Structure 1
Amino acid sequence: MSKHKKSNLQWIKETLELKPDHRWESPSGYKIFVANRGAVRFNVPQNWVFEPQEKSFKFMDNKPPKDDCCLEVSFNQLPPRDWSLFPLKSTLRKVVDDDSRDVIEKGEIISVKRQTAKIVWTEIKFIDTQAEPREAFSRICIGLGSNVQCLITFDYWADQAEKLTPVWDEVMRSLTLGLYIRDPQTGLAFPD
């Protein structure tokens, strides 16, 4: 088991040997990302670069500046209450409307039905002008379930959409909120 702590961050990374009968499963070419014992979990490509930030986690296809895309997640633990009436769609619409980039297209809001969570996401197309003008997409997801709220963003170049949209599809398919893991070496959740 290895542990390390970045001096200015509150995250602690643990590396554990999995037991032979473990229940962790992800599609070929993906690994499972789990934050805070299971507050948020989803699958990301196996070989992507992981960079913890002060209040979020970033995954990129390569180390900067050679990266062509960035998937970032942040989350909040909410006080226990009935969040079922929280206006997720209008909250997401406001996030999109407040975007300061040069947005040229806004997509519809898509709802993902889950038993224990409400998940909405949308896509914007914008012109990135950092180097030379180039079209890019940003996908933005808000999830709410089991008293956990998460925000996931995924920015990538428009000409790489065919290669990268399956990554987003797998993140959305595998996104699980508030499934706490009792034994990380086996993947047994609480309650079983």
Structure 2
Amino acid sequence: MSKRKKHNLQWIKETLELKEDHNWKSQPGTRIFVAGRGALRFDVPQDWHFEPDTKSFRFLDKKPPNDDCRLEASFNLLPPGEWADFPLVHLLKQVVRDDERNPIEQGEIIRLKRQTARIVWTQFKFIDPQENREAYSRICIGLGSGVQCLITFDYWVDDAERLTPVWDTVMESLVLGLYIRDPRTGLAFPD
């Protein structure tokens, strides 16, 4: 189920000690993922495998090739302007229509409002051509605080009971454009 690309990425990983009175909070069994100093933030299962790519970030339930699902996220910083009327639902419908995996069943579009962010997502079912198995794909587009995000989650239909709560956690914890000045404290201030 996992798509893999070989890239010669040069990432710098830095580990910082959190201050005792830090403000980082996540649900039990999860860890907080933050990209772009807070442009994109959500909780993921604590024991999932992380793979950065050139333009996105992937989380897998197990290290490849033994993974059964893929949660992938990317974000863009938007130019200044009026984005409140941007047609997110129309864009999401177009993304599903253009999907090359030929959806065989599509769910409703869910709309979430979070502080300054608008979030839409949907699910569709498709047949994985390599495994000849039914799979789900969930697609989320979020827009707010000068940030646009795309989050996708692909998993086997057989694993829906185990993995649907992972998506629910990501959607519940998703925050856009809440920038963190000092990651050791987790204090967020508008820039």
User: Which category of TM-score, normalised to the shorter sequence, fits these structures?
Assistant: over 0.9
Structure 1 stretches of 5 or more lacking a match? 1-6
CA distance in 2, matches of 1:95, 1:109: 12
Partner of 2:42: 42
CA distance in 2, matches of 1:10, 1:95: 31
Secondary structure of 1:20's counterpart equals: coil
Q: Is the 8 A contact 1:10 1:54 kept in 2?
A: no
Q: Work out whether 1:94 is the aligned partner of 2:67.
A: no
Write out aligned runs for 1:1-192 (5 A).
8-9=8-9, 11-131=11-131, 133-191=132-190
Secondary structure of 1:13's counterpart equals: coil
Q: Is the 8 A contact 1:102 1:128 kept in 2?
A: no
Secondary structure of 1:120's counterpart equals: strand
CA distance in 2, matches of 1:56, 1:114: 23
Secondary structure of 2:27's counterpart equals: coil
| CA displacement 1:48-105 (0-9 Å, x = unmatched) | 0000001100000001110000000011001122210000000000000000003110
**Aligned in 2, Cα 1:10/1:92: closer, same or farther, shift over 3 Å?**
farther
CA distance in 1, matches of 2:190, 2:36: 16
Give the counterpart letter for 1:42 in structure 2.
F
CA distance in 2, matches of 1:24, 1:152: 22
Q: How many residues align?
A: 185
Secondary structure of 1:130's counterpart equals: coil
| CA displacement 1:27-57 (0-9 Å, x = unmatched) | 1100000001000000000000000001100
Structure 2 stretches of 5 or more lacking a match? 1-6
Secondary structure of 1:160's counterpart equals: helix
CA distance in 2, matches of 1:103, 1:116: 32
CA distance in 1, matches of 2:184, 2:172: 23
CA distance in 2, matches of 1:48, 1:162: 17
Give the counterpart letter for 1:173 in structure 2.
E
| CA displacement 1:122-176 (0-9 Å, x = unmatched) | 0000001213x11000000000001100000000000110000000000000000
Partner of 2:4: none
CA distance in 1, matches of 2:150, 2:11: 18
Q: Kindly, what percent of the aligned residue pairs are identical?
A: 71
Q: Which 4+ runs in 1 deviate beyond 2 A?
A: 7-14
CA distance in 2, matches of 1:43, 1:80: 28
- Report the TM-score, using the length of structure 2 for normalisation: 0.93
- Report the TM-score, using the length of structure 1 for normalisation: 0.93
More strand by share: 1
Secondary structure of 1:15's counterpart equals: coil
